[in-house]
Structure 1
């Protein structure tokens, strides 16, 4: 009979120890339990070879809440680096569990747990310990339709592992990163991997949402609430009920509207404009921004309590310049996409074209790369995409302008330069300046550009 390994379960709740022992006994040769984490070093150095540890994140005699779990994870890895550790955590401590993954834990299980999920997680972790783990996940990923391309960059591979774990939960996620780095694509991938995948993901561009339409768009309205309200209308929160709500450009939301958003998130309900009846909603919230919300909190332009609500899990996308090994693979994906869209015959990249693509700074990131490939597909002739099919702005030859005397003059000139360099492409201009499209439109109108 094949060995099934020895499991150590450490939790200060004795009823949990008993329940877990009964549940997992058929799946392990032996289960050792301990309510005291201070016994961990002695057990690991004992005669019995521990293969796997299920470790609680909080103990009544803990160092400081969930951080004690991270401390003991570190100690376990020092004593027996090969032992796999699964963290046992309450929902409120998911962010600590995610940190634990980064520090070497194999996985985490959220309390209250699903029995089948706990068994599956522990068996998978044991397979990692014994080298029996198969590379199913990568193969399944490649076969799934519309899955996200993660590339070969190590930072993105680590992010991939993290996303596959947190996507299973309903924890609110904040995605930060520069414009054009794929924040919305990442949000869609999280939804696709979640338990809400059968329901829809509803996206809202907060940067393009005017203050007068905010409540109506997000919370809905009833007939007669205002002049053009001819019928009842559900808002985005209701549309996303049982699914995922993605709020892009969350950093552009004005301070007083942040309070209204916070109320809806806290109450898990919305009140339509013109009504007094709360409507319960069940959503998974994902927000994204290219701005530094922590700095905005310090400046008093973003509510700290709202940041805590949306920031249960924080992930950051990488700029394309930090993942050069992925430029050509991305280019080939976009090449296939636009050859198909424009009914073009098969083409490949000439070596000179690949070199040119790898030399670009890609300030607009993946979005700028995609736009460049699309344009090259349209104008190219023959069976290859040549270097001459790409036209990039000569950034080093920006015209020298007289020194601006005010911040407004400086801003106006920056926008003019960006418009010239991007050949009037407003999406690229917004990306380059690090502002939303709506903000760009407002500034163009203000400066009469």
Structure 2
């Protein structure tokens, strides 16, 4: 091979190496070999074979020679043989027989009633049992097409547009398992988080969304052992978040003026505690929320002798209850107010000014959350797009000879050449509420 030809081949190889790495490539190169999934290993092996067929390394490590030109030379090529025992072993030490066993245990294409035995559970891991609350979720193209919270019962079926699953098949299995319906649709069965529960539980009035409740807890700086006052129990969403924040050493006093709203919040609170005890093997959720039906503006006797580290108000007219609440709020503590529209915010500030209450308005905010979709780019026919390396004019001329032979520079690309595309989710949560942070001061 001439010196010019070797430089030409070197430029061809450098073009392939200059291709930008995909997220799958970057991450898989950092992970240990034994942690890679079978799909990644298969992609890696296939593309490594392509690279080895198209390029060969000579004795000089700085000189690369094309494989077709090596075959045309007079240099004899020694045939390399490998014992059959070594061929049957994979790079991570497992045999082909071991891999077939692993694939049979995955059960991705097996109905739930024909699944293989499950692996041993982790320490302190509890299996799903009857009476628990579960969430069934079906996703398609990055979107949630079906989500339902239900209680596991004997002899009952989970109904959906994608088929049914027997409740009996879910019992005794770990949470987070994908099960197949009668229509072969993959449904994820898992235990609900507190966020899932407040979004899917039965409601009376509108709830304080988890994003707003989390911000209110940050404003109020609620820690374990605090005594918190909540006015406007609603459906019990904020009561549950406060209950978890104050822990077993703290207390929450929740006041609601309407009897039907109070009944709904109490039911949701008890239902969550019962399900928590089952999923934790008897460990109880702290019973630290005390519900009362009263009008807080005229319930000074209910607050007599009490002091609160923070206050959460979810009322139409919170300025009417502030004169009763502020005397029981610790100096320097925060009162977080949840209001639906800006007119209520103006009325609140006007009421504080007219009543000469010792409150400072520190912040008036709303909490936007924007969901995104990130997935491999696909064409209209459903096939994955292929990332192409940019080529200069000189490089295109050099590669003309290779393309005439029916080959391209992308034939030697490593795995993970599919580009990713990201865009905002088409379904966005719009405005929910304004959050007002009031702090008590002492003159």
The alignment's TM-score, normalised by the length of structure 1, stands at 0.22
The alignment's TM-score, normalised by the length of structure 2, stands at 0.22
* Higher normalized helix content (fraction of residues): 1
Larger radius of gyration: 2
Q: Could you say which structure has the greater relative contact order, defined with CA pairs below 8 angstroms and 6 or more residues apart?
A: 2
